[in-house]
Amino acid sequence: MDPADPEYDGLTPRQARLLGVAVASVFLTGLAALLVVRLAERTSVLVVGVYGIAMIMCGVVIELSRHGRTRLGTWLLGLTLVAALGADWLLLP
């Protein structure tokens, strides 16, 4: 369907970019808060590494969304969050 069609229900590219930036920013803030909580429980380089890499990837997703690569950014954000939470569950006692 054509986005100019009045019956088109999807997001415009601009709305998709803004949504991608907003979602990645929320996850970035959440990961920062979770990092503070985990560091309060136990100071470890592994904790900083896992959450630090996840936060860096959120920044990468924000840049990808700003440059119009929203689908790639969405997949990367999902994989990053699954990997970070999986590493937290498996690697961090």
Note the pLDDT of residue 76. 93
* Domain contains 3: no
Host domain of residue 50: 13-91
> Quick one: three-class SS letters along 20-83?
HHHHHHHHHHHHHHHHHHHHHHCCCHHHHHHHHHHHHHHHHHHHHHHCCCHHHHHHHHHHHHHH
Residue 71 above 80 pLDDT?
yes
41: in domain: yes
The answer to whether residue 6 is domain-embedded is no
Nearest in space to 70 (alpha carbons), one of 22, 35, 3, 31 = 22
pLDDT digits (tens, 9 = 90+) for 26-69: 999 999 998 899 889 888 888 888 889 999 999 999 999 999 89
Statement: residue 91 has pLDDT above 90: no
Instruction: Give the pLDDT of residue 45.
Output: 87
Tally of domains in the chain:
1
Tell me the pTM: 0.80
What rounded mean pLDDT belongs to the chain?
A: 87
User: pLDDT-derived band of residue 85, with 50, 70 and 90 as boundaries?
Assistant: confident
Q: Is residue 58 part of a domain?
A: yes
pLDDT more than 70, % of the chain: 91
Does residue 86 belong to any structural domain of this protein?
A: yes
